[in-house]
Amino acid sequence: MAESGKEMTIIVTPKVHERFIEEMGNRLNELIRRGNVNYMLLSDSAVTTTPSMTLTDLFAYIYFFNTDGVYDNKIIVSDDDMMRAWAKELYKFYKKKAAAVES
């Protein structure tokens, strides 16, 4: 998706970031250096069990974790304007708790 040139933001927890470093190393650095990718890391004090989200101009897709940090099969997919507005507010909430990561 990043290679398509579309603007995108990726916000990850410290645990996910460490896993990306271990498994992707150089590829992650290439992704971070792209001008169209904003890669952000949630602070340790932020909520650590965050949903997995995809938010576009057309739809919102949100996949929730349970309190143990395991996917619990509660998925929301919607093209409804109100749902996308709610998902955008949720995105903004997490973005405020995150900091940009430089390569």
Residues 15-51 pLDDT 10s: 888 999 999 988 998 888 888 999 999 886 656 678 8
pLDDT surpassing 90 at residue 1: no
pLDDT surpassing 90 at residue 80: yes
So what's the pLDDT on residue 77?
93
Whole-number mean pLDDT of the chain? 87
Residues 65-76 pLDDT 10s: 777 777 777 788
So what's the pLDDT on residue 45?
67
Which pairing describes strands 60-65 and 52-55: parallel, antiparallel, or unpaired?
antiparallel
In a 3-state reduction of DSSP, which class is residue 66?
A: coil
